[in-house]
Amino acid sequence: MINLPDNVRKELIELGEKKGILLEGNIAKLFESTGDDTFKQYLDDCINKDREHRKKRLEITKQIQIQNKELTDLNSENEKMVQEVQETLKSVEESKQQIELQNRELISWKEDNQRISLELQEEMRKSETARIEAENAKRNAENDLDVLQKKTQYELINTIVKSSLGVIISIGVLTTLMYLIALFNNKDTQIISTTWSNMFGILLTNSFSIVGTIMGVKYASQGDGKN
């Protein structure tokens, strides 16, 4: 133990009272008071203050350690959150790229559909034009065929009429010649005149009947064509 002089003790006590500077506990334990109650109280105060300071420092150290642990955990959580945010951003970027790709594909598909639609409309227009042309051609062909049929019928009727009239005239002329020959040769003309008269009546009746029938068929055919 160390025994300090009185003046040193007094200075240490004044230093502690005025400026609050005390000896540390371990150093204060090296000195003895030797019956000086004031210095003893000073040493006790130094030891108690040092104990309190150590206790406070320990508490502060524990608190700092706790805070450091909390900071470390918080830092870990922050790093985890940052990683998650980065992964989320990466996923969002990938999703954005995928959406952009889908949008481009959608735009391309839309353009293809528009092009196909235009092509279909053009083909439909061409098909409609071809249909109209085909109908016009059919109508023209039917008109031409009808005209040809009418022309053929007309020519056939003319031929039949001419032939019938020719046959009638020929028979009439032949019968007349036979009648004249019989007259000039002083032959009995009673039978031949009756035959000639009947023949002319039959020929005229048949000629008018043929002509009427032919004309009726002609007008009936024209009426059917108009309907």
- Compute how many other C-beta atoms are within 10 angstroms of the C-beta atom of residue 87: 10
- Residue 161 pLDDT: 67
**Model pTM?**
0.35
- Residue 188 pLDDT: 62
- Residue 56 pLDDT: 86
pLDDT digits (tens, 9 = 90+) for 62-87: 888 888 888 888 888 878 888 888 88
Q: Rounded CA gap, 90 and 60, in Å?
A: 43
**Band (21; pLDDT cuts 50, 70, 90):** confident
3-class SS of residue 31: strand
Q: Residue 2 pairs with which residues in a beta bridge?
A: 31
**Band (226; pLDDT cuts 50, 70, 90):** low
Q: Residue 31 pairs with which residues in a beta bridge?
A: 2
**CA-angle at 35, arms to 32 and 41, nearest 5°:** 70
Instruction: Write down the domain spans for the chain.
Output: 6-81, 149-226
Q: What is the DSSP letter of 208?
A: H
pLDDT digits (tens, 9 = 90+) for 127-158: 888 889 888 888 888 887 777 777 776 677 66
The torsion angles phi and psi of 2, rounded to 5 degrees, stand at -110, 130
**Band (189; pLDDT cuts 50, 70, 90):** low
- Compute how many other C-beta atoms are within 10 angstroms of the C-beta atom of residue 100: 10
- Higher-scoring residue by pLDDT: 99, 216: 99
- Residue 78 pLDDT: 79
